[in-house]
Amino acid sequence: MDSPAGPDTTQMTPAGQGSPSADDTQPMRVINVTGKPRTTWKWLIALPAFVFLVWGGAAASGYVIGLDKRQAKQIQMVADASQEQFDLGVEDLLAGRFELARHRFEYVLSLAPDYPGAVELLGRALEALNQPTPTASPIASPTPTETPDYGSFEGMFQSAQAAFNRGDWSTALDILILLRGEDPNYRLAEVNQIMRSGLRNRGMDKLFQGRLEEGIYDLSLAERFGALDSQALSWRRSAEFFIFANSYYGLDWSKASEYLGQICVANIWGACSKYARAAREYGNELLDEEEYCLATFNYEQFFTHLNDDKFAPTATEVAIVCMTATAPSPTPTSTMTPGTITPEGTLTVTSTSSSTFTPSSSVSPTSSATTGGTPTATETPTATSSATRTPTATKTATETPTSTPSP
């Protein structure tokens, strides 16, 4: 049953509308011009839809599968890195490189806290280093704190203040920088105050940890807000002097031993062991120049702070030569005994000679330094290259540094 509105393609042409002839009363088959575009329209929809479906499906499945593979790859990479560092840590432990072993195990545990055996071996490394052994979870887990509110400026400010109050300087500073990036003038005076104190305190913390240049940098940033307090200034000067002295280490043993000797009186940042090594090297240089007594003096400084069984015979020999050179008829029976260093740094060379080598002067500076908490240090370095120094570091809680060595 045909209908004019039906989908068929035959239609009666309406009378008088474009018929070829008015007498022609036969129904006429005409091509429906709307039929072809309808088919094209379908194709125009179907083809892009097909392309979209195929490509979209390919992209989506590629992404999902790739994501899975990436995660698997990352897990594998972490596992490989952990395994490698664990194996190397075992090697280091067996070879007696405890410090390196310790760091490798710590690294492994930072990647995989439950890595089998890592805690135990870290414990052995720490035991060998005479440090407290770790508990089941050696990596310090962060103290739960309130979630920072970054939704508003005030929330950010309060979060920074809270971080500052609990001594988390870095977090406080990070939040304040974020805040400053959003609104440079928001509570400007208070933000500046927290920034200044945070930088100052973080800088001091770094100095106590031995990260000298990093601490100096933080203090320099803090100084942009205003003058530093005398304690911070004093520690910064000391740190700068240490770095200055250390810059000669390995390059100019004479200057290195001279300057490190001055900072050694405060017995901070391992200055004394560096001084000792520098003194020995300088002594070796003097020995090459046949300055036996000066060499002996420097060797004495070395043994004041460090022991070296292998080096002791050489030092003793040089001391004997020195005594021989300075005494008319020496009958030396001297021995240089490592490991028996007296607090005064006395040269343990004995001789029956009437003329014994003694340092030309003796300086007994009083120094003290803390290694954490409230920084305190007093130093009175008046050392000269021919002085015996007696560093006697003590920890005090309330002292304020009053002077720093200067070259």
Partner 1 sequence: MRSILEKGKLGNISCNTWVLRALALAFGLSTILAGVVFFHLVQDYTIGYTGVGLNPFQEVDQGFDTTPLPNMTPTAVRFLQTPQPWDGKARVTLLVLGIDYRDWEAGASAPRSDSMMLVTIDPITMQAGMISIPRDLWVEIPGFNDNRINTAYMFGEAYRLPGGGPELAVKTVEGLLGVPIQYFAVINFHTFERMIDELGGVDVEVKQRIMISAIGGHQRWLEPGIHHLDGPDTLAYARVRKGAGDDFGRSDRQQQVLLAVLERMVRLDTLPVLISRAPTLYQELSTGVRTNLSLEQMISLALLAVKVPGENIRRGVIGPPNMVGFYTRPDGAKVLGSVPDQIRQLRDLIFTETSAFGPSVSSSPSNGASP
Q: Which of 97, 124, 187, 237 binds partner 1 (CB under 8 A)?
A: 97
- Least distance CB 67 / partner 1 (angstroms): 6
Minimum distance between the CB of residue 272 and partner 1, rounded to whole angstroms?
A: 16
What residues from 98 to 117 belong to the interface with partner 1 (CB under 8 A)?
Answer: 99-100, 103-104, 106-107
Region near partner 1 per CB under 8 A, out of 211-219, 259-267, 334-342, 356-364: 211-219
Q: Give me the least distance between CB of 27 and partner 1, in Å please.
A: 21
Q: Is 217 in the site for partner 1 (CB under 8 A)?
A: yes
Binding of partner 1 by 195 (CB under 8 A):
yes
Question: Could you tell me which of 109, 97, 112 has the C-alpha nearest to residue 134?
Answer: 109
Instruction: Annotate each residue in 232-261 with x if it binds partner 1 (CB under 8 A) or - if it does not, as one string.
Output: --------x--xx-xxxxxxx---------
Whether 351 and 333 have beta carbons less than 8 Å apart is answered as yes
Q: Does 177 bind partner 1 (CB under 8 A)?
A: yes
**Which of 12, 28, 44, 67: binder of partner 1 (CB under 8 A)?**
67
Interface stretch with partner 1, choices 10-18, 54-62, 114-122, 373-381 (CB under 8 A): 54-62
Smaller CB separation from partner 1, 23 or 288: 288
Say whether residue 180 binds partner 1 (CB under 8 A): yes
352 is a site residue for partner 1 (CB under 8 A)? no
Stretch that binds partner 1, among 26-34, 93-101, 133-141, 378-386 (CB under 8 A): 93-101
Nearer to partner 1, 100 or 233 (CB): 100
Residue among 254, 263, 195, 221 nearest 404 (CA): 263
Asked if 199 is part of the footprint of partner 1 (rule: CB under 8 A), the reply reads yes
The binder of partner 1 chosen from 12, 28, 54, 325 (CB under 8 A): 54
Cβ neighbour number for residue 3 with a 10 Å cutoff: 7
Closest CA to 109 of 96, 97, 126: 126
**Least distance CB 386 / partner 1 (angstroms):** 24
Subset of residues 265 to 284 that bind partner 1, contact rule: CB under 8 A:
none
With CB under 8 A as the contact rule, the residue among 192, 254, 307, 355 that binds partner 1 is: 192
**With binding defined as CB under 8 A, does residue 128 bind partner 1?**
no
Cα 154 to the center of its chain, rounded Å:
32
Q: Which residues of the chain form contacts with partner 1 (CB under 8 A)?
A: 47, 50-51, 54-55, 57-59, 61-63, 65-67, 69-70, 73-74, 77-78, 80-81, 84-85, 88, 97, 99-100, 103-104, 106-107, 173-174, 177-178, 180-182, 184, 188, 192, 195, 199, 211-217, 220-221, 224-225, 240, 243-244, 246-252
